[in-house]
Structure 1
Amino acid sequence: MKVFASSIATLTLSLLLAGCGGEDTEKGDAPITTRQATPSNGEVTVLERGDCDLFTQEELSEAFGEKLTFGKLVGYRGRGSSCTVSVQGYEGEFILQAESREAFENRRETYFEYERQGSATMEPVDVGAEAYLLNNAQVIAIDAEGRAINTALQLFVFGEELPLSKEESGAGVQAIARKALDRL
C-alpha cells in the first residue's frame, strides 16, 4: 500500500511539473494560450502564457531591424502577468506587460515626475489613444477602451557600442506596443 501511495504521489508530481514547464516555441511561433485534453476526465484545460500571445519572436526581431537576436518568449499565468524575452549576445531583455487604466495612469504620473526632476525623457507618441516614449527604450500606452500596455527594451553593453541607435530602439518598442495594444 505504501508503494502504491508513493507511486501515485510521484505520478501526480510528475504531471504537475510537466504542466508548469511550459512549451518551447520555435522562431516565429507565437506562444498563444494552448488547449489540451486531460486524459482522466476528457475536459480541456488552458495553459496560460502571460502576455506572450501579443507578439511573436519574428515580429520582435523585425521591430529592431534584425539587429538583435532574441531568445524564447517566457510568460506564466494569465493576462497582465507579462512576457519577457532575453536578448542573445548582450546583457538585456525585452519586457511587455498588459495593464489596467489605473496602472497606466500611475506609471504616467510617476514618469512625469521623473521628467520634471530631469532623470528621464518622455515624449508623446502615436500609439493608441495616449502613449509616451520614455528614454527611447520604453513605451506606455492606452487605447480608447482603457486597455494599456507597457513595453521596454533593457540592453546593457560593457566596453562596446550599442547595436542600435536611440531612434531604432524607440521605433522598435513603439512597433511592438502598437501591435500588442491592437491585439489586446
Structure 2
Amino acid sequence: MTMSSRNTEPQQADHPHYAWLREQLDEAQRDGDQGLILLLSDGLEFAQACNAAWHRILEAAQGNLVGMEVVDKTLSRYAAILQDASEPGRFRAQFFDANGFSGHATYDTPEDVLERLVQDGYREPAAGAMNTLSQTREWSLGTLMAHLIAKLNAGKLTYREMQDEMHAADARLT
C-alpha cells in the first residue's frame, strides 16, 4: 500500500502486470525505442482493464481478500479466494459455477491469487455467489455427479449404478 501525495488516504498499488507494463513503456519512451513502444502499447488496453478490476475488487474486499468472490464477464464462472487447506500457509482460487466446484489453483498470497484471477477475466466482485448457487438444484446435481464420477473412477460402482443414482437424485430434486 502506498500513500497518496494529496492526502493521507491509503491507496492500493496497481495490478502487477499493469505496473510492469507502464514501467517498460516509460523506459522504451525514454530510450526512443518506437518498435518496443508499439509492441507494449498493444497490451495496454488489457493491462488497464486488469488494473481497473484490481482496484474495484480490492476496494470491495476492504483489506481482506480471503473469502472474496469474483465473477467473469459472462456472469457464469466464479472464483473465491480462500486459504488452502491442503497446503497450509498458501491460498487458492476455488473455481465454481452453477453446477458446483470445478477446480482450484494454489498461490503463495491472496494478492497472487487475485493477480491471476484478474488476468484470467474474473473482474467483478460477486459477494455471496457461492452461498446463492449452492442452494440450487443444479448445484446439488452437479456436486452429486462429481462425487459419483469419483466413485466410478475408484471402482466403487458401475456406470449403470452411477446413472441410476443420478436419475433417482434428479427425481427427488424435481
TM-score in terms of structure 2 length: 0.29
Bigger helix fraction: 2
Structure with larger Rg = 2
TM-score in terms of structure 1 length: 0.28
